[in-house]
């Protein structure tokens, strides 16, 4: 395994975390600007505790990190994990594109030039 790749458990955790619309939105929001959990909670029609649980899932998947600044805890992106997930998706895309190219080659045999 290459050191900077996600192992199977990490990939499962990442895709589980991103399977939820609210969690994807939280990731986008904290990429744009670090926010406190309270600030995040104000943007959703759910309880503070529910938003806290979403943040905890994202934190376990290493998509976000919490940092304490004085009395406030800010949530920010874990850019390294997001990049690793992006590379994994690009590898899947490359596999898919290779398969399509092979299918094209089978369907369009070379023209015989006599």
Q: What is the pLDDT of residues 21-41, one digit of tens each?
A: 999 999 999 999 999 999 999
pLDDT for res 37: 94
The ranges assigned to domains in the chain are: 8-107
d(CA 31, CA 75): 9
d(CA 103, CA 98): 9
Q: Return the CATH fold of 8-107.
A: Arc Repressor Mutant, subunit A (1.10.10)
d(CA 75, CA 108): 52
Q: What is the pLDDT of residues 94-103, one digit of tens each?
A: 777 767 666 6
pLDDT for res 1: 41
Q: Residue 26: which of 49, 58, 48, 50 has the closest Cα?
A: 58
Residues 16 and 61 sit within 8 Å (Cβ to Cβ): yes
pLDDT for res 6: 81
Which residues in the chain land under pLDDT 70? Answer: 1-4, 98, 100-106, 109-110, 113-114
Count the residues in the chain. 114
């Amino acid at each position: 395994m290459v050191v900077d790749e996600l192992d199977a458990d990490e990939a499962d955790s990442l895709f589980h975390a991103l399977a939820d619309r609210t969690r994807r939105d939280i990731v986008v929001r904290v990429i744009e600007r670090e926010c406190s959990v309270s600030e995040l909670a104000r943007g959703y029609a759910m309880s503070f505790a529910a938003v806290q649980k979403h943040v905890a899932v994202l934190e376990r998947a290493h998509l976000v990190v919490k940092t304490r600044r004085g009395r406030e805890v800010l949530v920010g992106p874990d850019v390294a994990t997001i990049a690793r997930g992006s590379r994994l998706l690009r590898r899947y895309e490359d596999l898919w594109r290779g398969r399509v190219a092979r299918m094209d080659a089978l369907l369009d045999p070379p023209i015989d030039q006599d």
